[in-house]
Structure 1
Amino acid sequence: MYDAEVSRELISKVTESVLAEMEAWRQRPLDRVYPVVFIDAIAMKIRQGQVVNRPVYVVVGIGLDGERDVLGMWAGTGGEGAKQWAGYLTELRNRGVEDVFMVCSDGLKGITDAIEQVWPQAVHQQCVVHLVRASLRYTNRKDWQKITPALREIYTAPTVAAAEARFEAFAAEFGDQYSAVIRLWRTSWPQFVPFLDYDHEVRKVLYTTNIIESLNARFRQAARRRGHFPTEQAAMKVLYLVVQQKRKGGGSITGRVYGWAKALNALILAYGDRITI
């Protein structure tokens, strides 16, 4: 009995220490400029009377030094919404993030306005991974082997004009069968094309969301082990520990982006008047 009480006391002290550390991390000041920021939300099962799916909003940024970092995480209520995003992005601005060059996200309705409300000069870049994934949801699996390489031809085009030509060819081939896919791409086009103005090094950073996709995969893995979280605090504590985990041989969430120097040179040409190093 005594040993059990000691164990509970030790666990309680460790938990309190982690929660205090997490709160300090969530309030820490941030850099003034982030060239690229990725935003996404992932559903977590959290008990609030009954177990429900709640969105956890996540922001990952790449600083001028090429270091990637999780800038913030928040547990929301209900479904993911642009209004909630506006509030969380405003919190980042209040913590020091005065300027962002590009914000990469999915195609959530109203998200462009939310981004511009906080960082008026930021470009909203539609996440290509999300766009392709959404496209495939409207198609039959048996056609994926034809559709996937055709879409790749569009988002790897050397110029905007070439992308437009390839998209029109795609629309001519698949439009009758998959009109919803064509409509999705036409609606998303203004947010899809910005990264096409940059060379290969910048595109690798922008159109592959490996950073946040990898983080979400680890979040899901941690959640599956538990089934659901008993409280919001418990969920955020576990996700915080996932973010802080250091992996040997690379693969950590934080760290330097490979080949960042080339990408930064291209960004300086585009945003030189807004960069101070």
Structure 2
Amino acid sequence: MSKPTFDIDAALQALRDGQDLTGKDGILTPLIKQLTEAAMQAELDNHLAKEATPNRKNGTTGKTMKGPVGSFELKTPRDRSGTFEPQLIKKHQTHLTDELERKILALFALGNSYQDIRAHIAELYDIELSNGTINAVTDKLLPELQAWRERDLEVIYPIVWLDAIHYKIKENGRYVSKAIYTILALNIEGKKELLGLYLSDQEGAHHWLSVLTDLYNRGVKDILIACVDGLKGFPEAIESIYPKTEIQHCVIHQIRNSLKYVASKNQKAFMADLKPVYKAATLNAAEIALDELEAKWGEKYPMVIKSWRGKWPTLSAYFKYPDYVRTAIYTTNAVEAVHRQFRKLTKTKGGFASENALLKLFYAGILKASERWTHPVQNWNLTLSQMAIHFPERLDEYISL
């Protein structure tokens, strides 16, 4: 086997002269080429030594390799009988390592467009990639995504947030709005876990029922508290699968929906009077504040007050808990944070060519976001102790007090 002939002195001088380490004319490119070819020659020598029938070397075949140091022509050794299968650089492989793919996926997970990814890779490695190549790399997420969506889940989750976000997806030549159902949970350890992503033509209680059924089939047999938006029929859908689950309507959603019916000139004053309702220290104080809100605004905005009155049992459920428990459950703020991450990923995209194009982007974003979900939420042990009191026996086998 011939030894690499990389000229270290010339390389050092080039480095002093300001030549790039990587890229088409980078200092390291010849070294990587020589080391790779030498290693492949060693592979062939080892293969020939083990052959039972006569065989010998048969020259080389050239191909262009793309790697983190740049592109270069690689001479791949051949054998006469054609039985040699190189392992370091396989026959149809054109990328030297998976580092390039990792870089593409990292850029993709940050919401970069294919155009931006191409520009980054060209700048870093002096490699020109096509949209097709980038798409082929990101498509490798799809089998992982499918396995993630079908994975087994824990038997019980103390808190689950359920919400939807809408996007335009191309279907039969035109863009249609579809709902992405997001299910975020706190597990027994108090750590965030995204249980699933589901896609439907529109948000509705019927579709949520199918989502909840899927969670049940994947192993979730009990949910203590479900935090939901004000969608009609949603609590009934949850009750049909999880009859013992406590429903907490999202206060933030309720506020947003209320403001749609309040004149813009009155919104600031209305919000000032509404805040004592949902920020009250006790349920009694909240109900007094709601009475005062109705006395002042009930005649002008009767539908808004009626909505608060009608949903009050589930809007006010969190008042039974101490502050540190309320912080965790009283809104869908946690899942809203996930949706903010999704919007960040999609802010430059008006629509998506397919469902998979959207789902694989979200999955990449989830992998990135979940890197930070390694610690329990604040005051989790105290919160879990409170829940063990409010939901007797349902947590007994999972915690010891």
TM-score, reference length from structure 2: 0.64
Higher RCO, 1 vs 2 (CA within 8 Å, ≥6 residues apart)? 1
Correspondences of 1:28-177 after superposition (within 5 Å): 28-48=151-171, 49-77=173-201, 79-177=202-300
Structure 1 distance, partners of 2:378, 2:134, is 39
Other-structure match for 2:150: 27
| Structure 1 residue corresponding to 2:376, chosen from 218, 232, 256 | 256
C-alpha offsets along residues 179-207 of structure 1, whole Å, 9 cap, x if unaligned?
Answer: 12101101211211211111101100112
- Verify the 8 A CA contact 1:59 1:73 in the aligned structure 2: yes
- Verify the 8 A CA contact 1:66 1:256 in the aligned structure 2: yes
Structure 2 distance, partners of 1:58, 1:255, is 21
- Verify the 8 A CA contact 2:249 2:331 in the aligned structure 1: no
Shift of 1:113: 0.7
TM-score, reference length from structure 1: 0.91
Secondary structure, counterpart of 2:348 in structure 1: helix
| Structure 2 residue corresponding to 1:216, chosen from 339, 346, 354 | 339
- Verify the 8 A CA contact 1:69 1:255 in the aligned structure 2: no
Between 11-20 and 95-104, report the one with greater CA deviation.
11-20
Other-structure match for 1:196: 319
| Structure 1 residue corresponding to 2:357, chosen from 234, 242, 251 | 234
Instruction: Please list every run of 5 or more consecutive structure 1 residues that lacks an aligned counterpart in the other structure.
Output: none
Shift of 1:219: 1.3
Structure 2 distance, partners of 1:152, 1:97, is 36
Shift of 1:145: 2.2
Other-structure match for 1:183: 306
Structure 2 distance, partners of 1:137, 1:255, is 37
Shift of 1:227: 1.7
Greater helix proportion: 1
Residues 1:106 and 1:12: Cα distance change in structure 2 (over 3 Å): closer
Other-structure match for 1:268: 388
Shift of 1:247: 8.2
- Which residue identity lines up with residue 386 of structure 2 in the other structure? A
C-alpha offsets along residues 62-83 of structure 1, whole Å, 9 cap, x if unaligned?
Answer: 1111011110111101x21101
Structure 1 distance, partners of 2:317, 2:155, is 23
How many residue pairs align between the two structures? 273
Kindly report the root-mean-square deviation, in angstroms, between the aligned alpha carbons of the 2 structures. 2.2
Higher Rg of the two aligned structures = 2
Shift of 1:235: 0.7
Shift of 1:15: 2.9
Between 227-236 and 135-144, report the one with greater CA deviation.
135-144
Share of identical aligned residues, percent? 34
Secondary structure, counterpart of 1:228 in structure 2: coil
